[in-house]
Structure 1
Amino acid sequence: MSDPRALPSVVLVTGTGTGVGKTVVTAALAALVRGRGSTVSVVKPTQTGLAPGEPGDVDDVRRLAGEDLPVHELVRLRDPLSPEAAARREGVPLPPVAVHAKRIGEITAQADITLVEGAGGLLVRLDSRGGTLADLGTALRYKGVSCGVVLVASAGLGVLSTAALTAEALAARSLPLLGVVVGSWPDTPGLAETENLYDLPRVTGTPLWGRVPEGAGRMDAASFTAAAPSWFDIA
């Protein structure tokens, strides 16, 4: 897939956990695809842990990948919890995954590729019915929207089991896992980190797409967008 136009219309960005670098990887993918001539939109179905008016993940993506990047945050919740738990504490209903799928389908018509950043891992519940990012992918494919998944992995010890389980969950739903990206690659990797570069593709059955350097989220937009293509090997 050296040509980003060969990517599916929707790329779901999930992680092996929280804090693994999904937002920065989403921004880097947006910069990469835009740099190769395709239009991109970014969607965050549910943002938790922020009050109204505070900058969220989509704002970070736009700050890094370009202020003109179209971004969409569909739901915001105050508590730093899973969407289901945060909504329960606030006493507000969450839209069913099918509603998110409809909205994302509309957004998809406005760009070549739409990047959808999930909350935490693949099976974190996005609604009160138990719907997950994986169910969102299934709903989009049911609507005829091509869809694949990128897994953002932590670099160090303990990631392999979660990565393998994510790959199995996707395979069970016939959702393609496109590639794995290490979300925060340390300046001085240890033994576990270097071995994971070999083991992550082996346990997930998909290529290692790249490594985003630790601290990339603190770069200015010009430096970030210039450097992003060098972090990937999508071939």
Structure 2
Amino acid sequence: MRIVACLNGDRRPGAHPALPVSPDQVAADARWVVAAGATEVHVHPRDGRGDQALEPQVLTPLLEKLRAAVPGVPISVTTGLSAEPDPWRRYDLVQRWGALPDSATVHLDEPGAMEVARLLIDRQVDLEAALRSVQAARILTVSGLAEEFTHVVIEPREPTVAQALETVTAIEAVLDRAGVTLPRLLHGTERTAWPLLDTAIAADRDIRIGLEDTLLGPDGTETEDNAALVSAAVARISAHA
């Protein structure tokens, strides 16, 4: 089972005392989450102001620090429009990346997503199809590129557990009907983060947890840091075994 630690996401600096923003903070956090049991690390690069950024001069030093901190651990980065709202500028930035991550998530329901996906395929970066809706799942199945992706990330945005699980079921039905057999990771956000993590464990899906998804531990109190979230997730996997 993949255990992906999502370290910061699109949260603003200061959203949590332990939210890693600078390259040094992210690298240190990566060491801690891997020690806690994470098998992969997912990050949203940040510029000197703490804003999300996809510029090569932001990504390259971050990757260098991460690979020095956790050698051999796969590093995933976002390509979401939350990091660069202009689809055409995003494409240009990704095209100019010098250092490359091991994988990148592509939100298929965003404008310009398939163009970025094709670019990353050409650049031999592993692709994760981020599916927030049934429409996104349909885009994947009709794209002709499903076999080029390495994983599917199912990430419903609905605020309640019941609504989120309904979306998960609908997305998986679309994938199953189309014969898409890629490994699937399932995660929720905020109130749905821990219930969907438990659902993923029970279904033998890959999991993701971190301050990007929730600031709270499974008991509903504010977590200490990303490593504490990963430790709690590993404990839930062990309890289910």
Give me the TM-score of the superposition, normalised by structure 1: 0.44
- The higher relative CO (CA closer than 8 Å, separation ≥ 6) is in 1
